[in-house]
Amino acid sequence: MASEKTLRQLADENDLTLGASITADAFRKYPDDPDVAQTLTREFNAVTTGNALKMGPLRPDRNTYDFEDADAIVNLGVANDLLVRGHTLVWHNQTPGWFYPWDYTDDQLRTFLRDHIHTVAGRYREKVDVWDVVNEAVADDGTMRETAWYDAMGEEYIDLAFQWANEVAPEADLFYNDYGIDEINEKADGVYALLERLIDRGVPIDGVGLQMHAFRAQEYVDPEALGENIRRFKDLGLDVHVTEMDVAYDRENVPENHLEHQAQYYRDILEACLDNGCDTLVTWGVHDTASWLRNYDQTITDDPLLFDEDFDPKPAYFAIKDLLESRV
């Protein structure tokens, strides 16, 4: 007989960090409906800050920070004893609209990035437990992605970002995060080589985040291949987390009983994580209404998460719950 325990209780009993991202929009969109926060704090033991700490939303102009949304999410996590993951300090996307017209020198850009990391990571030094310090710095072919940061500082910008974060948040775990590196492939090899170089240079990096967005056939990673890749990264001495998981399908090729297929995939991926030393899985949203995929591509199904539009648990929820109950 299934227990009445929540996912959060079962995650705690399995020493699993089970999280979800959340946006401050959820609080504003449902001002009279606390289900977003209630579901998060009841069923998960970790929260990721969604868009709130990305540079674009955070900095309306060059000299101004707007921490209202980030504070709301971080404080919700702290108040409810959730592990808080800050996402992200350095990324080439979602930069402010004023950024690229700015005529900066390389030295100015270096100073700007240092001040940004010191300000943001320093503000939350007592509250954010894990930082995705650098996000998606490697291109799909495994080479370094050409960005404003890379153009100004070369690969050193990654070393510096981790060093600057460590200076102001020495107790936080510091991660490199990327998509498309869940199994051994050209891009994952490039990330692996990058991480080796960082470690050899003494960069204070604690782990690597595998995003695990699965919304087309080619993104559905074989669990055994995932396990092999987790072990490879762990052999570098790094922690490995699944940081942004969701599971959707091409509308023209949706499997029969796709919610059951989705449930099995969630279970298989979590099992591969646990069996290979990955103790963290974060879904990219709490419930289907909040999924980024609803605005990303209309050819993809819009039900990728553990809870439906009404916050009712889906088969994926029960599949994860069943797995965790079997391991207690």
Q: b/e map of 85-102 (b: 16 or more CB within 10 Å)? A: bbbbbbbeeeebeeeeee
Cβ-contact 130, 175 below 8 angstroms: yes
Annotated active-site residue 136? The verdict is: yes
Cβ-contact 96, 61 below 8 angstroms: yes
The two tokens of residue 107 are 């030295």
Cβ-contact 249, 218 below 8 angstroms: no
Cβ-contact 238, 206 below 8 angstroms: yes
Annotated active-site residue 325? The verdict is: no
Q: How far apart are CA 323 and CA 268, in angstroms?
A: 9
Cβ-contact 252, 289 below 8 angstroms: no
DSSP 254: P
Q: Where are the alpha helices (DSSP H) in 180-242?
A: 186-200, 223-234
The amino acid at 122: G
Catalytic residue among 244, 252, 271, 309: 244
∠ CA 264-265-269, rounded to 5°: 120
DSSP 21: E
Catalytic residue among 136, 167, 186, 309: 136
Would you name the residues annotated as active-site residues?
136, 244
